[in-house]
């Protein structure tokens, strides 16, 4: 029997209802300092979630949202409670860590859709451990799922403290999350990618250093996401000490626990990427979506903090897309693709597909005749993650599991050229004069850097700043083949460790007011993260703008003038 109202994380709370039908990424979507929604594309933009009973179907976007929620909780700016009607992990995990480690949890409730829709119309909600009261109407709450979780002897030993206090705490959190997800067992993973090393808030540092103090040590190969400073050069770059020091300490904490200082948001570009069918424990939304969709590896979109728990134990809840049947498409999206496209097409497709499938795995039909590089698919997956909560998508002709049969009852949506024109206008509403070109969200690959270098004129100086962010492994590769030297000779600034979604002033030029990017992900998040206006286009259009100081005024040929 389907339960109409269940407690996910117990607690008592009351507050005014702030309801939305659209998922929200707390990272890039909510300002930790004010608790206001800063995602310019979201209906709640400008609304404060502090003290509110926040209702939405589920969250979306970045895994770092759990850290933002923890920071809000620690500083008494969190929502009074969270109410969802679909499965949700990122904010739930942030609330769980706040309760277990810092005793400042946020109650989480899941309602069946009809009940959710009714409660969303209320002005005020109160939650106890027995009932939810919406404008005087009492709705009985079922206690948190207790389920029987099948643990191995090794799991039980960790839970009993046999591997130390940090691993014990990690296993306690894993067991609680497994119950929330309805998992009946844990699975072993071969590798982990940590997203929590981004200094999204002081809460990220507080959690990591707490785990270090408890003796935390990773037990499987673990890579680290892009961080918030150029680790070796931030002082020379003029980054303020009150930001640079804690951001660097956060990176140091994860390295101290045995994580590799890879500092890239594109771990699939590292040597020896995961293989099809391999169970991994990755965080960072674009990396998760790429691993599942393009590589055929298996990982849930693990929230920040849970990624470390998995690394400390080598175990993850066996749920979601770890299970083969849960990887089947739930929505069919058809598109009449143009005969020829440039690299701007793929991030736009990802964003639109995510908008059309915000809460389920889609399969895209109609792009079989187009060539797509691994960089195109990287851009597609990153943009998809900004508008969808799903951990993967299928694209017929381009991803390995696109032939999986859709689930029974899967519906269909059609995207047209008008949808692309609408998005182009949305991404290019800023003035044509640009002050900064941003390449590398996610981190630029060696191929992208070589292509960029090939487009830069040898005898013409750039009219505006052009900055590329890339991982250390990529930088070493393009330094060996001379590409890095050509980029720098042309006036391009290449920055390691950071990515555009974690960059801050003064590395981000303070005087820049309009930014142009080839990234659908950054075009989406950039306005909220930076307070700047954005333009979007292909790499070639970005180079054109870098040389002229103006973004191209016309649509790309594949969009046409009609």
Would you name the residues annotated as active-site residues?
A: 62
What spatial distance separates the first Cα and last Cα of the chain, rounded to whole Å?
Answer: 52
Cα separation of 494 and 233, whole Å? 12
Q: What number of H helices and E strands is found in the chain?
A: 17, 22
CB 46 within 8 A of CB 36: yes
- The DSSP string of 340-380 is S--TTHHHHHHHHHHHHSTTS-EEEES-TTS---HHHHHHH
| Sign of the alpha-carbon dihedral angle for 74, 75, 79, 81 | positive
Cα separation of 47 and 261, whole Å? 37
Phi, psi angle pair for 170, to nearest 5°: -60, -45
Beta carbons within 10 angstroms of residue 454's beta carbon: 10
Cα separation of 492 and 484, whole Å? 9
- The DSSP string of 403-444 is TSPPPTT-EEEEE-HHHHHHHHHHHT-S-SB-SEEEE-SSPP
Tokens of 392: 């993967």
CB 66 within 8 A of CB 94: yes
Query: What are the beta bridge partners of residue 465?
Result: 436
Q: Of 283, 178, 273, nearest to 224 (Cα)?
A: 283
CB 533 within 8 A of CB 514: yes
Tokens of 131: 């009932």
Angle CA(347)–CA(351)–CA(354) in degrees, nearest 5?
Answer: 135
- By residue count, the chain amounts to 562
* Alpha helical stretches, state H, 84-143: 90-102, 113-119
Burial classification of residue 289, based on how many CB atoms lie within 10 Å of its CB (0-12 exposed, 13-18 middle, 19 or more buried): buried
């Amino acid at each position: 029997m389907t339960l109409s109202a269940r407690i996910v994380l117990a607690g008592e709370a009351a507050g005014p209802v702030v309801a939305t039908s659209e998922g929200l990424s707390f990272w890039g979507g909510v300002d930790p300092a004010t608790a206001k929604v800063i995602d310019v594309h979201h209906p709640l933009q400008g609304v404060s979630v502090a003290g509110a009973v926040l209702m939405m179907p589920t969250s979306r976007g970045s895994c770092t949202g759990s850290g933002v929620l923890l920071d809000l909780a620690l500083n008494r700016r969190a929502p009074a409670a969270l109410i969802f009607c679909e499965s949700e992990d990122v904010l739930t995990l942030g609330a769980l860590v706040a309760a277990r480690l810092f005793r400042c949890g946020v109650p989480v409730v899941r309602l069946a859709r009809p009940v959710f829709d009714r409660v969303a119309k209320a002005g005020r909600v109160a939650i106890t451990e027995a009932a939810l009261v919406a404008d005087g109407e009492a709705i009985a709450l079922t206690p948190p799922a207790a389920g029987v979780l099948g643990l191995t002897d090794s799991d039980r030993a960790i839970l009993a403290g046999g591997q130390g206090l940090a691993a014990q705490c990690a296993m306690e959190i894993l067991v609680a999350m497994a119950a929330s997800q309805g998992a009946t067992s844990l699975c072993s993973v071969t590798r982990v990618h940590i997203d929590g090393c981004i200094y999204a808030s002081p809460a990220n540092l507080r959690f990591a250093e707490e785990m270090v103090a408890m003796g935390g040590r990773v037990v499987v190969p673990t890579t680290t996401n892009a961080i918030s400073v150029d680790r070796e050069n931030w002082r020379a770059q003029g980054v303020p000490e009150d930001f640079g020091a804690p951001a660097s300490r956060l990176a140091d904490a994860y390295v101290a626990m045995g994580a590799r200082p890879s500092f890239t948001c594109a771990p699939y570009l590292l040597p020896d990427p995961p293989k099809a069918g391999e169970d991994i424990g990755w965080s960072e939304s674009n990396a998760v979506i790429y691993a599942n969709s393009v590589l055929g590896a298996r990982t849930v979109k693990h929230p920040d903090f849970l990624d470390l728990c998995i690394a400390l134990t080598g175990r993850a809840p066996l749920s979601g897309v770890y299970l083969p049947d849960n990887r089947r498409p739930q929505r069919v999206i058809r598109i009449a693709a143009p005969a020829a496209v440039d690299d701007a097409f793929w991030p736009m497709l990802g964003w639109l597909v995510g908008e059309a499938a915000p809460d389920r795995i889609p399969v895209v039909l109609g792009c079989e005749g187009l060539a797509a590089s691994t960089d195109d698919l990287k851009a597609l997956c990153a943009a998809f993650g900004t508008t969808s909560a799903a951990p993967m998508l299928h694209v017929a002709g381009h991803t390995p599991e696109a032939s999986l049969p859709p689930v029974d009852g899967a519906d269909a949506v059609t995207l047209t050229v008008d949808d692309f024109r609408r998005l182009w206008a949305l991404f290019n509403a800023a003035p044509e004069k640009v002050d900064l070109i941003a390449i590398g969200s996610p981190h630029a690959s060696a191929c992208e850097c070589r292509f960029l270098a090939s487009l830069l004129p040898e005898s013409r100086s750039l009219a505006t700043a052009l900055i590329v962010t890339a991982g250390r492994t990529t930088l070493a590769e393009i330094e060996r083949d001379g590409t890095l030297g050509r980029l720098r000779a042309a006036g391009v600034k290449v920055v390691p460790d950071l990515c555009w979604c974690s960059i801050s002033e003064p590395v981000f030029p303070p005087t820049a007011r309009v930014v142009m990017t080839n990234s659908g992900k950054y075009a989406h998040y950039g306005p909220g993260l930076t307070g700047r206006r954005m333009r979007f286009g292909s790499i070639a259009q970005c180079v054109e703008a870098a040389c002229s100081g103006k973004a191209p005024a016309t649509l790309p040929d594949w969009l046409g003038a009609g």
